[in-house]
Chain A
Amino acid sequence: DAGVIQSPRHEVTEMGQEVTLRCKPISGHDYLFWYRQTMMRGLELLIYFNNNVPIDDSGMPEDRFSAKMPNASFSTLKIQPSEPRDSAVYFCASSLVLAGGPYEQYFGPGTRLTVT
């Protein structure tokens, strides 16, 4: 399997522009997670889905952030309008929950977002 795929790998945009990050989870995985990583705050969970349904979006910083998962093989994280403080590395991860034990989350390579 190719693992979790994210695009683009790097994104540079101006303040006020809309940014869309994309993720393709590992085939067969039923959970998908979006994280943000900064030097100051480390890794933070933004939102996660189970079977394409958002379960917990309490980590989404504000209304400028939205995430969708229209099908089992694709998810987007959108920031509109973007601000310089949104600059970070955004990771997507997926997992398959099996009965009887803790599951592993597999992370994508991340998208480095720079908002100027």
Chain B
Amino acid sequence: KNQVEQSPQSLIILEGKNCTLQCNYTVSPFSNLRWYKQDTGRGPVSLTIMTFSENTKSNGRYTATLDADTKQSSLHITASQLSDSASYICVVPFDNTDKLIFGTGTRLQVFP
């Protein structure tokens, strides 16, 4: 079954700390993996798109890694800010189509 699973479900950290979010997928064949950030009450916004040939990709304080062999990805947030409080969703296209399979997300809360 094509699935995208994320952990942890929720995470609380203090401002300035680093954190890492995990994503495991069973979607096959694999073409790319995306991380989205969704603020409360808003639509998801793309952070990164990684193809199977990319191991690491950065977008400011966000760094995504991908291991296509183990079908795992992680999103590392450095020096967290209050504005990082949001849900982070891992997404994989289904069977090289335009259909995206979404993980259930990790809810991150950053406190001062």
Is A110 a contact partner of B43 (Cβ separation < 8 A)?
yes
The DSSP consensus for interface residues of chain A is: strand
Binds B, one of A14-22, A41-49, A61-69, A75-83: A41-49
Is A42 a contact partner of B51 (Cβ separation < 8 A)?
no
Task: Report the number of A-B residue pairs with Cβ-Cβ less than 8 Å.
Answer: 48
Residue B89 contacts which of A43, A44, A109 (CB distance < 8 angstroms)? A43
Query: How many residues does chain A have at the interface if contact means C-beta atoms less than 8 Å apart?
Result: 24
**Residues of chain A having any CB pair with chain B under 8 Å:** 4, 31, 33, 42-45, 48, 50, 55-56, 91, 93, 95, 97, 101-102, 104-110
Residue A43 contacts which of B34, B42, B102 (CB distance < 8 angstroms)? B102
Given contacts A43-B44, A108-B43, contact A102 B93 (CB under 8 A): yes
Residue B49 contacts which of A43, A55, A104, A106 (CB distance < 8 angstroms)? A104
